[in-house]
A and B are shown apart, each in its own frame.
Chain A
Amino acid sequence: MGDALLFLPLTVLGAVLALDVVSFPQAMFSRPIVAATLAGAWVGEPDRGLAMGVALEFFALESMPFGASRYPEWGSASVVGGALFALTPEGTAAAMTAAALSALLVASVGGTSMVLLRRFNAYWARQQQARIARGSGSAVVALQLAGLTADLTRGALLTFLGLAVLVPLHEAIVASFTMSPTVSRAVVVAAASAVGLAAVWKVVHTTPLARWYLAAGVAIGMLIAAGLM
C-alpha cells in the first residue's frame, strides 16, 4: 500500500484536480463525488471511491468557492480520501472513518496552501508590475502561466505528502479500531449529512417557499429510503 509507484499516478491526479478547484478549468472535476471516484477507479475500486466521494460531497456542500473567501481544498483531499478508502479491504471497520478524517485534514491544509499561493501570486504580480504597467503582453501571459504552474505544483505536493503521511496513520487506525463497520459508516454519514443539510438550509432558507420544498424533499427521500431497504 505504501508503494511509491502507486503514489505517483495518484499525485498526478491530485495535482490536476487541485488545479481545477480555482485555476483551470473550474469544471468541478475536483468535487469529491468526482475526484474520490476517480481515485477509487484508479486503484480498481470505483464503487468504494464513489461511496467515499458521496460522504465528502455532503461536507463540500458547505464550502463553495466564493471569490476571496477561504475554503477547504477538496480536489487533492478527495483523491487522498478516495484512495485510502478504496485501498482498504471491504468490511474493514475503521476504513470510512479514517479515510474521511484524512480527507478533511488534507482539505484543511489544502485550504491554507491556497491562501499562501494567493499571497505568492500577489508577490509575483508586484515583481512584474513595471512590465505590466508598460503593457507587456508577454508579462501578462507569463504571470498567468506561473500561477497555473504553481497551483499544479501545490496540488502535487499536497497529494503526495498527504498520502505519505496519512497512509501509515490510516493503517495504524485500522489495525487498532474497535468499533463495527456499520457504526463507523453511520458516524461518518451522520456527521457529513448534518453538515450537508445545514449547508442546504443556509443556501435556500431565504428563498420564498424553499423551506417547504426542503421539508417535502426529506419526506419523499425517507419514503424512498424505506422502500429501498
Chain B
Amino acid sequence: MTMDAASAAVLPLRVRLAMLLRCFAIQGVWNYETMLGNGIAFCMEPALRRLPGGRGGDAYRQAMARHSGYFNAHPYLASVAVGALARAELDGVPAVQIERFRVAAPGPLGSVGDRLIWAGWLPLCSALALLAFGLGVRPLGVVLIFLGAYNIVHVGLRWWGLQAGLTHGLRVAQSLGNPVLRQGPAHVARATALVAGIALPVAAQGIIGPGRVVLGSVLAAVAAGATLVTLLHGKIEGWRLATIVLAAFVLYSVVR
C-alpha cells in the first residue's frame, strides 16, 4: 500500500511546519562521519509517521534506517532533499531509486547553497549592516537590518526547498535550475563587492572617529594588510595573522 502522490504533496500544514522547524536543527549532531545524515532522518520523521503501519511499522523503520546514513549538503538547501525524500518514501518509490538520489543530490545542493549563501548573501548582509553602522544607524537598527535581510532569504529558502521537494519528489533537480539559484550568486557577488567597498572606509571611520590623518593612515594600512593576507592565502588565515599582530602590539604597549 502506498500513499498517492497528491496526498503526499499536500501533507497537513502542521506536519510541514514540524518538518520545517526540525530543519533549523538539521545540523544538531553534525559530525565528520555521517555529516548531516542523522539530521535528514530527524527532519523527515514527522512525515514518515504517515507511512503504512505508522510510527514503528516496518516501512517507517526501513525509511528511518535508510535516511540516517551519510548525507552532506548545504544546511539550508538540505530541506530540498528532506522534502524530496519524504515524498519518495510516501509515494513508495523503490529503495534503489531513493539511494541513487541520496548519492546524486549532495553535490548540487552543497555547491549552490555555498555560493548563494556563504559566499554571497551572508557577506552582503554583513556589509549592509557595517554600512548602516558607519552611517550612524543606532544599534537596534543595525541588528534588525542584518537579521531581517539575512533571515528573509534564510527562512524563505528552507521553506521553499521543503515545498519544492514535497511537490516534485525525486524530480526536484529541475527546481535547482531556478534562475535565482543559477544566476543569483553572480549578482549577489557584485552587490557584495560594491556594498562592502563602500562600507569598509565608512565603518572604519565610524569606529576610529573624526580625523583625516588617522583615517588615511588606517586605510593605507588596510590596503597593505589586505595585500599581505591575500598573498599569504593558504599559508595562514588572516584572523590568525591579526591575532599575532594584536598580541605583539599589546605586548609592546605594556612593556615599553
What is the interface of chain A, defined by CB distance below 8 A to chain B? 22-29, 31, 33-34, 37-38, 40-41, 46-47, 49-51, 54-55, 57-68, 72, 94, 96-98, 100-101, 104-105, 107-108, 118-119, 121-122, 124-126, 132-137, 140-141, 143-148, 151, 173, 176-179, 182, 184-204, 207-211, 213-222, 224-226, 228-229
Cβ–Cβ contact B30 & A217, under 8 A: no
A60 proximity list for chain B (CB < 8 A): 126
A202-B192 contact given A26-B27, A121-B29, CB 8 Å threshold: no
A-B contact pairs, 9 of them (CB 8 A): A26-B75, A59-B242, A67-B35, A107-B239, A146-B29, A147-B30, A193-B225, A200-B127, A217-B198
C-alpha spacing A144/B25, complex, angstroms: 8
C-alpha spacing A173/B206, complex, angstroms: 25
- Taking the closest CB of chain A, its distance from the CB of B34, in whole angstroms, is 6
Contact of B24 among A24, A38, A125 (CB under 8 A): A24
- List 9 additional A-B contacts (Cβ < 8 Å) besides A54-B207, A198-B229: A27-B150, A33-B126, A67-B110, A68-B72, A125-B34, A189-B207, A196-B200, A213-B193, A217-B200
A144-B39 contact given A23-B28, A221-B198, CB 8 Å threshold: yes
Instruction: Scan B210-251; emit 1 where CB is below 8 A from any A CB, else 0.
Output: 111011011101111111111001000111111101110110
Cβ–Cβ contact B147 & A34, under 8 A: yes
A140-B41 contact given A47-B139, A194-B226, A217-B195, CB 8 Å threshold: yes
Cβ–Cβ contact A222 & B219, under 8 A: yes
A220-B198 contact given A101-B247, A132-B65, A197-B222, CB 8 Å threshold: yes
- Taking the closest CB of chain B, its distance from the CB of A76, in whole angstroms, is 16
- Name the prevailing secondary structure of the B interface residues: helix
A51 proximity list for chain B (CB < 8 A): 206-207
The answer to whether B164 has its CB under 8 Å from any CB of chain A is no
A143 proximity list for chain B (CB < 8 A): 29, 38
Cβ–Cβ contact B201 & A221, under 8 A: yes
The answer to whether B42 has its CB under 8 Å from any CB of chain A is yes
What is the interface of chain B, defined by CB distance below 8 A to chain A? 24-25, 27-35, 38-39, 41-42, 45, 48, 55-56, 60-65, 68, 72, 74-76, 110, 114, 118-120, 122-123, 125-127, 129-130, 133-135, 139-140, 142-143, 146-147, 150-151, 154-155, 185-186, 189-212, 214-215, 217-219, 221-230, 233, 237-243, 245-247, 249-250, 253-254, 256
C-alpha spacing A54/B203, complex, angstroms: 8
- Name the prevailing secondary structure of the A interface residues: helix
Chain B residue nearest to A56 (CB atoms) is B239
Chain B residue nearest to A25 (CB atoms) is B24
C-alpha spacing A145/B39, complex, angstroms: 10
Pairs of residues from A and B, 5 with the lowest C-beta to C-beta distance, nearest first: A217-B197, A194-B225, A135-B61, A147-B29, A121-B31
Chain A residue nearest to B197 (CB atoms) is A217
Cβ–Cβ contact A195 & B212, under 8 A: no
C-alpha spacing A143/B31, complex, angstroms: 12
Cβ–Cβ contact A144 & B32, under 8 A: no
Cβ–Cβ contact B253 & A62, under 8 A: no
Cβ–Cβ contact B133 & A195, under 8 A: no
Q: Max chain A CB contacts within 10 Å: which of B133, B142, B194?
A: B194
C-alpha spacing A224/B124, complex, angstroms: 19
Contact of B133 among A50, A108, A173, A220 (CB under 8 A): A50
